[in-house]
Amino acid sequence: MKYKSIYAWIFAFIFMSGLAIYQRLTGPTHPLGGKVEVGGTTVKYSLPRTFGGPGDADVVIKAEDISITGEIKFKRFKSHDDWTLTKLTRKGNELYAYLPHLPPAGKVIYEIFLEKNSDRKMITKEAVILRFKGSVPDFILYPHIFFMFLAMVISLRAAVSGAFKWDDTYKLALWTVVCFVIGGLILGPLVQYYAFGALWTGWPLANSTFDLLKFGDLTDNKTLMGIVAWAIALWQIRKNPNAKYWAVIASIVLIAVYLIPHSALGSEIDFRELEGNVKQIN
């Protein structure tokens, strides 16, 4: 049994590590990378899709060929703004530009064009969207990440115990809920507050500013769904120690929830709505 438990922990850690990496790499805040050929020269790029802290967001492209020039076109996302077009500035082997700072949850949409020998190309197939956020203190951010990941690992380990009807299923389910509450319901809202100025923007407290699907921020809703699933599982196993299959059900729900990319449909400001409110006041 001892070796089976060790193997189960290893399996849970590897599986959840892969899921966490997948979630990060597929999320809308992960830098958009690729390459484009302009005038016979290949240029690799990594474009930012999130920016935290004060100041303007910098966009940098490494282009060692000094004959390559570029422009950036941008405006606030979900606004009635006109596009702003400005040239990229060269500094050594890099072309760079700055996107004007927006309040937390404000987004800017931008396109980048490179040119060499009359060959002008937009380097991405579609415009890129960058979201601004506030700076989250490390003493809140890192514990939040730790407890959320730990909850995911323990949850899968509990599912293995539930599938084989091992005696530690209830204890693991309890620790899953504890870690989720600390990481998701205590530290999570603090991260949200520092990043976007609101403790909770998911159901049922979604407001008009952050209301994306009438249920609010998908990240908050994912957290809530995972905690509810495991709370139900814990309650059912406590009532009936033989109902260990609830740990499997809750784990499947959690995996399905976390297959949704991180920060998908996250908090955002609809500037059109804000502009409309200003006009009504005036």
Q: What is the CATH number of the domain that holds 49?
A: 2.60.40.10
Residues 242 and 104 in one domain: no
Instruction: Give the number of other CB atoms < 10 A from CB of residue 85.
Output: 12
Burial of 202 (0-12, 13-18, 19+ CB in 10 A): buried
Residues 218 and 142 in one domain: yes
Which segments in the chain show pLDDT lower than 50?
A: 208-215, 278-282
Residues 6+ apart with CB under 8 A from 160: 8, 11, 12, 166
**How does strand 94-99 pair with strand 57-62?**
antiparallel
Domains of the chain: total: 2
Residues 162 and 182 in one domain: yes
Which structural domain, as residue segments, surrounds residue 38? 32-133
Contact 99, 86 (CB under 8 A): no
Query: Collapsing DSSP states into helix, strand and coil, what is residue 10?
Result: helix
The pLDDT, as a whole number, for residue 66 is 92
Contact 248, 229 (CB under 8 A): no
Residues 202 and 270 in one domain: yes
The pLDDT, as a whole number, for residue 173 is 96
The pLDDT, as a whole number, for residue 206 is 56
User: Facing residues of 64 across strands?
Assistant: none
- Which of these three, 133, 161, 196, is where a domain ends? 133
pTM for the model stands at 0.79
